[in-house]
Structure 1
Amino acid sequence: MPHRRWIRLAATLCCTALALPSAQARPASRPNVLVIVADDLGFSDLGAFGGEIATPNLDALALSGLRLANFHTEAACAPTRAMLLTGSDSHRVGLGNMPESMAPNQAGRRGYEGHLRADTATLAERLSAGGYRTLFSGKWHLGTAPDQDPHARGFQHSFAMLNCCHDHFGQGLSTDRSKMFGYTRNGETVTSLPADFYSSDFFASQLIDQLRATRSESPFFAYLAFTAPHAPLQAPPATIAKYRGRYDAGYDVLREQRLERQRKLGLLAPAAQPHRPVDTVPWESLSAEERRTSSRKMEIYAAMVEELDKAIGRVIAELKAEGEFARTTIVFLSDNGAEARDPAPRPGTPIPPLATLGGPKTYANYGAGWAQAATAPSWRFKSFATEGGIHAPAFVSGPVVRRPGTIGRAYTNARDVAPTLLDLAGVAVTPGRFAGRDVPPIDGLSWRGLLAGKAAVYPPDRAVGSELFGSRSLRRGDWKITDIGDGIWHLFDLARDPGETRDLAAAEPARKAALIAEWDRYARDVGVVLPDPPFHPNPPRDHD
């Protein structure tokens, strides 16, 4: 080939390569990642999991992806979120208990710092080091000090509600970041919120702004962490009005309706027996006024879930408009089971009239009856290591799912999210080390095989323990032991009894003893310190 022709060809090839940076910077093996977390969402609240609430955006993602029908968390939010971001057991990384609930004998102990410890490695830190843009918007709840802010823990762009909960309309903003209603943007204290602030909508808008501001050929890891539908129950009046009268038949009827839809969707075996509700009374035994107030609370809750779905729909629309949706892996989960407590308002907070319930500066939660409509067929609810407290809705959507529209029945855990996403992103992990320092081990396992159509993630002899508020559990295969916090171990075969209705402890003493020994090993390994005094003092022994 003549020399000049060779030079022209080489120049043409070079220019072509420069014109196609995505071919070099964005190989198909480097997906975008969007992790979405709902707060206190019950297992059957979404339509794709058996609910009647309008959630078309989440349903579309779930039904076109892989629904994780056997996904588990810790029994409350901060420990789950710590596991999600590290892949490690919550006791290893500083969240052995909720920051607000430390028992006297836990305070100051290793693993009970009440924030994500500095010697951990977050998913954002690992992915950032691996070339990802890292974005965060929403509830943090993993520390309020400047060096504990998401911006200091690997998120290059962040808008954070630092603590556990807030007024969803932004009332009561505090510039003291240690207080309940404190926010930061990229680590700096937020001093004002817009007049039309509503948490789900604003968190989605902040993430959309971050995506637009950081457009590049680098893949992104975005973590969208909602506070909805966590109490206080608050939602726009027009959305609440859509559900007016929808729940007048009560929580007992709703529970049966949801169970029937779960059976039709293939999420629950026809013969599976649900656990009976606890800590509640039959709907018909309530007075007319009590029923009106209770159903209104559920209307507000439903409106919050719909608003959550609308916000997610806006993020999905943005990804599609930017051509990013087709190469984005989406992981959605709730951080624990539905919340049953309906505590009194904070001192000095007036009890609002029914007509204003759900507005700014009002406080309500919906109580144990509605919560157990959402957790059915499971036993109990948030704060317990029974299935009702730790069995949560979750799904994976995107091109990584090889059999879209299917249900994954394998046991999975919030600890698995970090190793799964690092695996899919091709980011290498050195066990126990990151950036030249020692870090806690990753306890979770990758879902790569499950996403490709394999049946299991955990080997049948792999035990997975948990503890929060003194309520304990250990899972090995389909067998589980659990203690609701009174020191009494129960044994269940969850393959045959997902509702934990038949305690086999007396019938299988050897199996029970072996699993208790496994839990003791787990507790020593991760450093469990059971609370004293107990968080659940003398819980009612409501098991058959």
Structure 2
Amino acid sequence: MGSVGEAKRPNFLVIVADDLGYSDIGPFGSEIPTPALDFLANTGVRLTNFHTASACSPTRSMLLSGTDHHIAGLGQMAEHMPPNARDTPGYEGYLNFRVAALPEVLQDSGYETMMAGKWHLGTTKETSPSARGFEKSFVFLSGCHNHFNYEPHLEDPNHSVLNINAAKMWMHDSAFIDRTKDIPADFYSTTSYSQAIINQLKTRDTSKPFFAYLAFTAPHWPLQAPQSVIAKYKGHYNDGPEALRTKRVTQLARLGLISPDVAVAPMCHGPTEWSEMTEAERVESARKMEVFAAMVDLIDQNIGKVLDHLDATGELDNTFILFMSDNGAEGALLEAMPIMGGASKISSIIDKYFDNSLDNIGNADSYVWYGPAWATASMAPSRGFKTWITEGGIRCPCIVRYPPAFGNSTNNQAYQTAIVNGGAHPPQTGVHTDSFATVMDIFPTILALADVPIPDPVKPFRGRNIVPIRGTSWLPHLANKTAQFHPSPEEITGWELFNSRAIRQGPYKALWMAAPRGKDRWELYDVEKDPGEGVDLAEDEAHRGVLERLVACWERYVSETGLVDDPVWGAEVDAEVGIVWGGR
């Protein structure tokens, strides 16, 4: 894929989509036109075996710390903290100060650091982006908000739960701002965050390299987009989620990203399957997916604007660009999520302040989500979706581009051609790797490219003691010097959230999930041969030793990370989510 040449210090642009499914973009099999991401993929590298945590803030803590979220402060989401973990190291509910944050390290090494979008790693000034190394920022501190900044319910003291008190969660640089006065009237999250990054780039000190972090809140619910963009997808999803899943899997195979004979995980449905819906219910469900597609479309359009700026300023090819999703697609039934206060509060808020009639879906004053069936379609062939510890919750799309070190092109002709052709997907000519990778690897990869040493945990960092990172630099593999990102067969990677747990070593993954998601026991899968996790090897005598070894590895992972277990609390969370798992 190339070798690192002598050049000026690279810039970095990290782009994170919120709850984007594996096949929701063109380079990973989508029907949604994404010419900017096509360009990145065609001139860069697609990581088809890239893994995150199963929910948003834990992933973001791993991205910016290079270590496990149970160490970095988000052992559990702050909104969902188990009672017996509160005040425990690793469960502070914010990016803690035991870790050296990536922007802190780069700032200390002469980089100008900037951010726009979703933070979700602390809601106080002391835990905000400005306190963790970002010189410039325009951010929403918590987990979700209305994409048009339409929040009338926040003025009602009886309805303080929806959007997690978004009224007090905005910051510009080191100052809190008032969403009712300081947010522009034409605000739309994806467009506004992208423009904020562009403005930060325009005013930067050009004598310094930059690290820019663009963290979209889309396509996270509520599903909202301008009607002009939604109209592009009218009728595209009338055949339902199972038909979409079939198309996506077929395209993934055509692109060579999955085996043509891969066993696809079963569908997951909400209260009513597509075949049992009335015509009106199908039309409404399809409309929600049309809005979701529009949100993905707008992500790509705005990434294109950022790329245009980098190209116009001569920085495009000297910028390491990474695009990723923070977890699997969101399939939970929103009204059942305890994080949002339960069905009664959500329903009363929506009934009072929002209009979810068919023609209004997608507007600022609508509040909808698309449910588990569409999420399953976008995560196929994997099993499950966000919050699941199966591959559907943690295997995400990832693209990297940096021509001086790897990739197959150093110009943007492919991007311009795609724009001229109206966004039609060009033939996928870029490189892809199936090597296992994790979000923790981004930290050391960026530092390696910047020629900045990883902070030494033996020495104080900014006057405090820090922990070692757990990630591995991707550069040796991207430069064709190693066959895998993680060449050691002894290395282990663990996951745990919402009382679901998993441990992986080599091709094998053991997982434990409470019923109805799982079997209330350890399951075992060869995820290289069986990414849908359909063939449980746990009771196969030939694999008994593999399972025993992985269970021992799990105990080691718990010891290394300080993980706090609370099975009673976890079972309650699972029961309240209430998803119907089809085919099991």
Is 2:508–2:527's contact at 8 Å kept on the other side of the alignment?
yes
Question: Over alpha carbons, which structure has the higher Rg?
Answer: 1
The aligned counterpart of 1:390 is 394
- Contact 2:327-2:386 within 8 A present in 1 as well: yes
Q: Indicate yes or no: 2:141 matched with 1:162.
A: yes
Alignment of 1:125 with 2:96, yes or no, is no
How far apart are the structure 1 equivalents of 2:280 and 2:583? 31
Query: Is 1:187 paired with 2:174?
Result: yes
Are 1:246 and 2:243 an aligned pair? Answer: no
Deviation readout 1:257-316 (Å, 9 max, x if unpaired): 000000000100112111111244542221111101100000000000001111111111
CA contact (8 A) 1:32 1:328 kept: yes
In structure 1, the residue matched to 2:367 is 363
Q: Is the counterpart of residue 520 in structure 1 residue 562 in structure 2?
A: no
Q: CA deviation at 1:118?
A: 2.3
Task: Give how far 1:483 is off.
Answer: 1.8
Q: Which amino acid aligns with 2:533?
A: E
Distance 1:427 1:119 in 2: 20
SS at match of 2:534: coil
* Counterpart contact for 2:265–2:532, Cα < 8 Å: yes
Counterpart Cα distance in 1 of 2:582 and 2:249: 21
Preserved CA contact (<8 Å) 2:106 2:211? yes
Q: Does 1:348 align with 2:349?
A: yes
- Aligned partner of 1:421 in structure 2 is 446
RMSD across aligned positions (CA): 2.0
Structure 2 distance, partners of 1:27, 1:218, is: 17
Matched, 1:143 2:143: no
* C-alpha distance after superposition, 1:92-128 (max 9, x if no partner): 0110011111121222222111111123211000000
Task: Tell me which amino acid in the other structure corresponds to 2:523.
Answer: H
Q: Does residue 196 of structure 1 match 2:186?
A: yes
**Which segments of 5 or more consecutive residues in structure 1 lack a partner in the other structure?**
1-25
Report the Cα distance in structure 1 between the residues aligned to 2:447 and 2:463, rounded to whole angstroms: 18
Structure 2 residue corresponding to 1:536, chosen from 574, 578, 581: 574
Deviations 1:117-166 (A, max 9, x none): 12321100000001111010000000011111101110011111110000
Q: CA separation in 1, counterparts of 2:582 and 2:360?
A: 36
8 Å contact kept, 1:469–1:485: no
Once the 2 structures are TM-superposed, how far is the Cα of residue 331 of structure 1 from its aligned partner?
0.8
Q: What's 1:5 paired with?
A: none
User: Which of 210, 216, 226 is the aligned partner of 1:220?
Assistant: 210
**Counterpart residue number, 2:383:** 379
Alignment map for 1:429-448 (pairs within 5 Å): 429-432=454-457, 433=459, 434-448=461-475
1:17: which partner in 2?
none
Alpha-carbon spacing, 1:495–1:27, altered in 2? closer, same or farther (3 Å)? closer
Equivalent of 1:402, from 401, 406, 413? Answer: 406
Question: Residue type matched to 2:19 in 1?
Answer: D
Secondary structure of the residue aligned to 1:337 is coil
SS of 2:83's equivalent in the other structure is coil
SS in 1 for 2:485: coil
Structure-2-length-normalised TM-score = 0.86
TM-score by length of 1: 0.92
Q: Work out the CA distance in 2 between the residues paired with 1:539 and 1:299.
A: 23
1:477 paired residue number: 506
Tell me the distance in 2 between the aligned counterparts of 1:539 and 1:105. 26
Q: Which residue of 2 aligns with 1:69?
A: 48
Q: Which of 138-147 and 164-173 deviates more?
A: 164-173
Residues in 2 aligned to 1:178 and 1:305: alpha-carbon distance in whole angstroms? 24
Q: Does the residue aligned with 2:386 lie in a helix, a strand or coil?
A: coil
Determine what percentage of the aligned residue pairs are the same residue: 42
Could you tell me whether the CA contact under 8 Å between 2:333 and 2:579 is conserved in 1? no
Q: Which residue of 1 aligns with 2:417?
A: none
- Contact 1:94 1:116 survives alignment (8 Å): yes
Q: Report the Cα distance in structure 1 between the residues aligned to 2:164 and 2:387, rounded to whole angstroms.
A: 24
**SS of residue matched to 2:452:** coil
Residue 18 of structure 1 aligns with which residue? none
Q: Distance in 2 between matches of 1:85 and 1:348?
A: 35
Q: Distance in 2 between matches of 1:368 and 1:205?
A: 32
**Aligned equivalent of 1:455, options 483, 486, 510:** 483
> Equivalents in 2 of 1:362, 1:529: separation in Å?
38
Q: 1:499 to 1:29 in 2, by over 3 A?
A: farther
1:502 to 512, 526, 535: 535
Could you say if the C-alpha distance between residues 543 and 251 of structure 1 is closer, same or farther in structure 2, counting changes exceeding 3 Å? closer
Per-residue CA deviation, residues 41-61 of structure 1 (Å, 9 max, x unaligned), is 000000110000121111111
Do the aligned residues in 1 keep the contact of 2:52 with 2:59 (CA within 8 Å)? yes
Shift of 1:352: 1.9
Q: 1:178 to 1:542 in 2, by over 3 A?
A: closer
Question: How far is 1:445 from its partner?
Answer: 0.4
Distance in structure 1 (CA, Å) of the matches to 2:562 and 2:294: 41
Match of 2:261 in 1: 271
Q: Which amino acid aligns with 1:347?
A: S
Structure 1: how far apart are the matches of 2:395 and 2:56? 13
Partner of 1:258: 248
Kindly state the Cα deviation for residue 209 of structure 1 after the two structures are TM-superposed.
Answer: 0.6
Shift of 1:27: 6.5
Distance in 1, Cα, partners of 2:84 & 2:241: 39
Query: Would the aligned equivalents of 1:243 and 1:299 in 2 still touch at CA under 8 Å?
Result: yes
Query: Counterpart of 2:334 in 1: which secondary structure?
Result: coil
Maintained 8 Å contact 1:342/1:364: no
- Whether the 8 Å CA contact 1:408–1:455 is kept in 2: the answer is no
- Tell me, yes or no, if the aligned pair for 1:65 and 1:401 is still in contact at 8 Å: no
CA separation of 1:76 and 1:65: change in aligned 2, threshold 3 A = same
Q: 1:334 aligns with which of 318, 321, 325?
A: 325
Cα distance 1:309–1:65, how it changes in 2: closer, same or farther (>3 A)?
same
8 Å Cα contact 2:237/2:289 also seen in 1: yes
Alignment counterpart, residue 80 of structure 1, candidates 59, 66, 69? 59
Structure 1: distance between partners of 2:551 and 2:437 = 21
Q: Distance in 2 between matches of 1:542 and 1:253?
A: 16
AA aligned to 1:208 is: I
Asked whether the 8 Å contact 2:379–2:392 carries over to 1, the reply is yes
Work out whether 1:236 is the aligned partner of 2:226.
yes
Q: Distance in 1 between matches of 2:31 and 2:470?
A: 36
* Runs of at least 4 residues off by over 6 Å: 173-178, 538-543
Query: In structure 2, how many angstroms separate the alpha carbons of the residues matched to 1:169 and 1:88?
Result: 34
What is the identity, as a one-letter code, of the residue corresponding to 1:483? W
Conservation of the 8 A alpha-carbon contact between 2:23 and 2:378 = yes
Unaligned runs of 5+ in 2: 336-345, 409-429
CA contact (8 A) 2:61 2:74 kept: yes
